[in-house]
Amino acid sequence: MDLDELYQEVILDHYKRPRGAGLREPYEGESHQVNPTCGDEITLRVHVKGDRVADVSYENVGCSISKASASVLYELVHDTTVDDALARLAEFTELMNSKGQSDGDEETLEDAVAFAGVSKYPMRVKCALLGWMAFKDALVRAEAETGGSRP
Amino acid sequence: MEAVSKLDVEAIRADFPILQRRIGDKPLAYLDSAATSQKPVQVVDAMRRFTDHSNANISRSVHTLGAEATEAYEGARARVAAFIGAPSADEVVFTKNSTEAINLLAYAFQNAALDPHADPRFRLAPGDEIVVTEMEHHANLIPWQQLALRTGATLKWIGITDHGRLDLEAVPEVITERTKLVSFTHVANLLGTVNPTSQITARAREVGALVGLDASQSVPHIPVNVADLGVDFIAFTGHKMLGPTGIGVLWAKADLLDAMPPFLTGGSMIKTVTMEKTTFAEAPAKFEAGTPPIAEAVGLAAAVDYLDALGMENVRAHEKELAGYMLERLESVDGLTVIGPRVPIGRGATVSFTFADIHPHDVGQILDAEGIAVRVGHHCAKPTCDRFGVNATTRASGYVYNTHEEIDRLVAALAQVRKVFG
Ligand SMILES: Cc1ncc(COP(=O)(O)O)c(C=O)c1O
């Protein structure tokens, strides 16, 4: 097994210095997700302003993969359009399901391509996706809250 | 450590082909037997011999194979009964695993609650109490939570001390005249604690409550004799005691099995059937609806033979010694905190720990890269985790085939973990 591939510098860096961590106001949607096999948890909030994701804030307990993934998620989706955020969500999910067959597109996924190696470890894919599941759910809730007014 | 291993571990290891495996370029150090044990060739051979030679359904055919299969299955029952000191083989009910055995018991109570003619010992109603402990595996917690929910009974529990022992001082308070059942774990799967049983059984007797023991982590590791324990039910599971998956055991006193309504119904558990009505077979058949795990029963009997040949007292002594070594070595690691008893007395060779603030997932992953298999997570004992304020732990657990050298490798690999995440 190639540990360096799993625990890339980028991942360890996001783990040790998580970006955008902490829960902030205002927000329209909040989601709490738990990984029942290991007890990892995240609470994640989304603040939507018009067609933009104005902020994503979160609090989590978990392993390096799940924490780094939430940090990378923050960097990718805060202050972008909802459509772009959803596209990153789809791309990242696809990368995680690639079983090591994809390198990911660095143009769009940026630091998140460091997770390509994680996709070879089925036990860890769930860790990497936990924050993204929370983001997806929080976004749905935010849209319900704001009456789904997005065009 | 005064206890000295009486097992020839090198000879034992030769019986377990999987222990020769390499993980990447590292030899496997299997320290996860509390989750599932490995199987010696004797078990696999017995199952293969049965399958190649005598396979048939049981109790249904007059042909030679059918008779051989029935004999093998019932022989396995007798073998298991003798292993746990049960007075009769008919007191041994084969199930799928411990979880099913405990559910079988919980559903006996639930079904009895719906039947006004059922034995009063099994009839629960609001005001009645069920007692468990805070250190249960979910398998011995959730069935009772559900039963309480459905019958209106109240679920109570005995807490855990800071040292990872049962708070026995609370026993007279928690177990009361209202208690109808006390079901508790013999050996805790996260903490490794071996619970003393006499005080709890004595109090339960005093108030007329039935007593069940989750023996999933005790039957594989220490001598268990149901007559000496003085309990009413025990549950255990084949795959943790060198046997195959897919088979477990509920042992219960004969008169209780008689009084218990069946759990699953269908073929093989009946006496007479008309379109309107069915009468049930005697136990154990009453609780074994459908085709049972026949080859697995044969495998379990072979596992019991293997353990008996080692001698359960020797197994206990080996693990006591191993536990002492694990505790001593692990506690020498800076930043490591053992969750559970810290002395090798009244505990098994299952040691849970936290390591600095490095998540157990990450610990487990680095250990795996070194060929070391441990379990990480909440170990299906979330209330125990909560009690100690942790989300998850890393757990190393030893068995008859584990060596000091493997513990040394674990400790060395923890330094590696520190290097990556420290
Ligand atoms: C104490 C205890 N009880 C019950 C079980 C459940 O065993 P099984 O999964 O074989 O039903 C386990 C095993 O994980 C256990 O350790």
Per residue in A60-114, pLDDT (tens digit) is: 999 999 999 999 999 999 999 999 999 999 999 999 999 989 888 888 998 999 9
**What pTM value is reported for the model?**
0.93
Q: Is residue A36 part of a domain?
A: yes
**Sign of the Cα pseudo-torsion (A112, A114, A117, A118, in order):** negative
B254 within 8 A of B90, measured Cβ to Cβ: yes
Q: What is the CATH number of the domain that holds A38?
A: 3.90.1010.10
Q: Is residue A61 part of a domain?
A: yes
Please tell me the predicted confidence (pLDDT) of residue A147. 74
ipTM: 0.82
- A3, A38, A121 member nearest B366 (Cβ): A3
Query: Is the bond into A18 cis (omega within 30 degrees of 0)?
Result: no
Q: Is residue A149 part of a domain?
A: no
Q: Which are the contacts of A32, defined by CB distance < 8 A and separation ≥ 6? A: A41, A42, A43, A44, A134
Of B114, B179, B120, the closest CA to residue B153 belongs to B179
Please tell me the predicted confidence (pLDDT) of residue A7. 82
Show the domain range for A116.
3-144
C-alpha distances (whole Å) from B135 to each of B3, B139, B140, B248 are 27, 11, 10, 21
- B369, B382, B391 member nearest A1 (Cβ): B369
Q: Is residue A85 part of a domain?
A: yes
B166 within 8 A of B160, measured Cβ to Cβ: yes
Task: Write out the two tokens for A24.
Answer: 């902030």
Q: Tell me which chain A residues have a C-beta less than 8 angstroms from the C-beta of B420.
A: 3, 7, 12
Ligand 1 pocket, Cβ-based, cut-off 6 angstroms: B 97-99, 137, 139-140, 185, 189, 214, 216-217, 237, 248, 380
Please tell me the distance from the alpha carbon of residue B339 to that of residue B197, in angstroms, as a whole number. 22
Task: Note whether A61 contacts B391, CB cutoff 8 Å.
Answer: yes
Nearest CA in chain A to B364: A63
Is the pLDDT at A149 greater than 60? The verdict is no
B385 is catalytic: no
Query: Is the bond into B284 cis (omega within 30 degrees of 0)?
Result: yes
Of B40, B217, B249, B27, the closest CA to residue B137 belongs to B217
Chain B nearest C-alpha distance from A76 (Å): 24
Q: Is residue A86 part of a domain?
A: yes
Q: How is A15-70 classified by DSSP, letter by letter?
A: HHS-TTBB--S--SEEEEEEETTTTEEEEEEEEEETTEEEEEEEEEE--HHHHHHH
Structural domains in chain A (count) = 1
Q: Is residue A151 part of a domain?
A: no
Catalytic residue selected from B155, B380, B390, B411: B380
What domains does chain B contain, in order, with CATH numbers? Answer: 9-40+311-421 (3.90.1150.10), 45-308 (3.40.640.10)
pLDDT tens-digit profile, chain B (422 residues)? 444 568 999 999 999 999 999 999 999 999 999 999 999 999 999 999 999 999 999 977 789 999 999 999 999 999 999 999 999 999 999 999 999 999 999 999 999 999 999 999 999 999 999 999 999 999 999 999 999 999 999 999 999 999 999 999 999 999 999 999 999 999 999 999 999 999 999 999 999 999 999 999 999 999 999 999 999 999 999 999 999 999 999 999 999 999 999 999 999 999 999 999 999 999 999 999 999 999 999 999 999 999 999 999 999 999 999 999 999 999 999 999 999 999 999 999 999 999 999 999 999 999 999 999 999 999 999 999 999 999 899 999 999 999 999 999 999 999 999 999 87
Other beta carbons within 10 Å of A130: 27
Please tell me the distance from the alpha carbon of residue B79 to that of residue B301, in angstroms, as a whole number. 6
Q: Is B175 exposed, middle or buried (0-12, 13-18, 19+ CB in 10 A)?
A: buried
C-alpha distances (whole Å) from A119 to each of B302, B327, B371 are 40, 36, 20
Please tell me the distance from the alpha carbon of residue B133 to that of residue B384, in angstroms, as a whole number. 10
Query: In A8-41, which positions are buried (b, 16+ CB within 10 angstroms) versus exposed (e)?
Result: bebbbebbeebebeeeeeebbbbbebebeebbbb
Percent of chain A predicted with pLDDT > 90? 72
> What is the best residue among B102, B216, B222, B393 to mutate for testing ligand 1's pocket, by most ligand atoms within 8 Å of CB?
B216
Q: Is residue A23 part of a domain?
A: yes
CA angle B175, B181, B186 (to 5 degrees): 85
Q: Which are the contacts of B317, defined by CB distance < 8 A and separation ≥ 6? A: B3, B4, B5, B6
- B359, B368, B392 member nearest A1 (Cβ): B368
Please tell me the predicted confidence (pLDDT) of residue A83. 96
Phi, psi at residue A77, to the nearest 5°?
-110, -15
Q: Is residue A150 part of a domain?
A: no
Is the pLDDT at A24 greater than 50? The verdict is yes
